[in-house]
Amino acid sequence: MIILGIDPGVATIGFGVIRAERGKNTLLRYGVITTPPGIPLSSRLLQIDRDMEELIHTFQPDEMAVEELFFSKNITTGIAVAHGRGVILLAAERLGVPIFEYTPMQVKQAVAGYGGADKRQVMLMTQRLLNMKQVPRPDDAADALALAICHSRAATSLLNTDREFDPAK
């Protein structure tokens, strides 16, 4: 299964593409989509839509993992991210890619084993889990890879299948 992880935004959108097979994750590509500052929001959103379409056509993901939106201190930034996130979700839906959403705590738990892990711990575990020579950069791309890993673990869990768990088997 090919998973596209997306860390949403407007100025910078992180993406990470992995192949998940039999409990093993293989890195395919990661990076960021950027939009130029100083142009109208509507133009930036259109560029995000076009770039998302290109990513989806290039990698043909089976599923997409996106970070759920949460507001901490800066509501203005949160609103802009919400605009970008909406375009990202729309592009995936329009192109038929199933969408799965995860909170930052779920991602930290899946990747680092602790929901309160700091950013550095998650980045180091992402590097380790994908057998990367260096910590993935920038942070947005690293977050997108962590989202993809989180989904690969959730997607292969017995808890997310139609089968019932029978401890006797």
| Residues recognised as catalytic | 7, 67, 140
Q: Which of 166, 123, 116 is nearest to 146 (CA)?
A: 123
CA dist 76 and 56 (Å) reads: 29
Our measurement of the distance from residue 24's CA atom to the centroid of its chain's CA atoms, rounded to an integer in Å, reads 17
Q: Which of 135, 154, 133 is nearest to 143 (CA)?
A: 135
CA dist 68 and 85 (Å) reads: 9
Query: 118: left (phi > 0), else alpha (psi -120 to 50), else beta?
Result: beta
Distances 76 to 44, 70, 83 between C-alpha atoms, Å = 16, 12, 11
